Amino acid sequence: MRDEALDALPVEGKHRSRWVETLLLLGRNPMALVSGAVLFALVVVAVFGAAVAPYGYNEQFAGGQLEAPSGQHWFGTDEFGRDVFSRVLFGAEVSLRVGLVAVGISLVAGVLMGLLAGYFGRWLDDVLMRFSDMLFAFPAMLMAIAILAILGPGENNAMIAIGIVYTPIFARVTRASVLSVREEIYIRASRASGAGNTRVLARHVLPNVSAPIIVQTTVSLAFAILSEAALSFVGLGTQPPDPSWGRMLSEGRGFIEQAWWMALFPGLAIFVTVLAFNVLGDALRDVLDPRQRSALSGKGGGA
């Protein structure tokens, strides 16, 4: 009898609708929509680059070196007569993968370190944060090169090295926010209800420190793509003749006076990608904050 009454209650999936609502709100922001479309296109190019590109990334046109952009070669050709447009398309895969994987590594490791250090404090804070300071003390490039000297050059190792180098930033950003959030009364209230550390960290602390982490993630994506470029430049990242935007940018630098397109187009690709990540990250941060959310959806909230 009681269960009948219970069955009569509507039981629409609240979690499903919350995700859908987030996406819908995100869709209302035109900037987010545009950047989302750009990133989607990039992913398509990264996955299907070979099918989209007009030429092979290593296909040389004899006698067609350093040609200016034209109907045949939209972005011109490089010093070996390779089509820059095709190489930019192929490079999307490398750059996106390196950016996402490297930032993924530092995001997971850094946020975990920051959460534990900030929440538990005491000796754990000292150990984790001094370790992170140690990593932070070296210039990023020097550190990455040192790590690659141990692991050996190559794209995968470059991702790991970049991931390690950017970990302390995430640890610091997270820890700083955790330090203030852990003193909040709602954390105490949750503990009063019997919540353990795992629950408090996952359900209360992490969601409330997410805003600066999201912003840091989008910024770091940009830096990771550039770091991969720098590592490739010194020969420790992507190995030639494989294309990556960073590699193309640094190689094009030498020809900037004869062939500006060699550096410009990979540079633009990095610029657009980074910008798209940043805009989407900002929009995501706003939409994930319930206070902003009701302002966005015009529900009208209290003070």
Partner 1 sequence: MAGEPPLVRASGLHVHFPMRSQMPFRRSVTEVVRAVDGVDLHVRRGETLGLVGESGCGKSTLGQALVRLIDPSAGTVEFDGVDTATLSASALRSLRRRMAVIFQDPFASLDPRRTVGDTIGEPLAIHGLHRGRRRRRARIGELMEVVGLDPDHRGRYPHEFSGGQRQRVGIARALAGEPEFVVCDEPIASLDVSVQAQVMNLLVRLQRDFGLTYLFVSHDLAAVRQVADRVAVMYLGRIVEIGAAPSVVDDPQHPYTEALVSAVPAPSPRKERARDRIVLGGDIPSPAAPPSGCRFRTRCPKVFDPCPHYDPVLQPVGGDDALGGDDAVGGDTGDADAAQGHQAACHLHGVRG
Q: Are 83 and 75 in contact (CB under 8 A)?
A: yes
Do 112 and 104 contact (CB within 8 A), yes or no?
no
Task: Identify the three-state secondary structure at position 2.
Answer: helix
* Shortest Cβ 194–partner 1 spacing (Å): 4
- Site residues for partner 1, 28-67, by CB under 8 A, read none
User: Is residue 257 near partner 1 by the rule CB under 8 A?
Assistant: no
203 makes contact with partner 1 (CB under 8 A) = yes
Judge residue 298's burial from the number of C-beta atoms within 10 Å of its C-beta, 0-12 exposed, 13-18 middle, 19 or more buried: exposed
Interface positions, 270-289, toward partner 1 (CB under 8 A): 289
Whether 95 contacts 87, CB under 8 Å: no
> Using the rule CB under 8 A, is 16 a contact of partner 1?
no
Please provide the distance, in angstroms rounded to a whole number, between the alpha carbons at the two ends of the chain: 43
Among residues 27, 47, 290, 297, which is the contact residue for partner 1, using CB under 8 A?
Answer: 290
Among 60, 65, 208, 250, binds partner 1 (CB under 8 A): 208
Can you tell me which of 1, 4, 14, 298 binds partner 1, judged by CB under 8 A?
Answer: 14
Sole window of 28-36, 43-51, 134-142, 187-195 interacting with partner 1 (rule: CB under 8 A): 187-195
b/e per residue, 49-65, with b = 16+ CB within 10 A?
beeebebebeebeeebb
Burial status of residue 182 (CB atoms within 10 A of its CB: 0-12, 13-18, 19 or more): buried
Residues from 123 through 182 that contact partner 1 (CB under 8 A) = 126, 130
Chain positions contacting partner 1, by CB under 8 A: 5-7, 9, 11, 14, 126, 130, 184-186, 188-196, 199, 203-204, 207-208, 289-291, 293-294, 299, 301-303
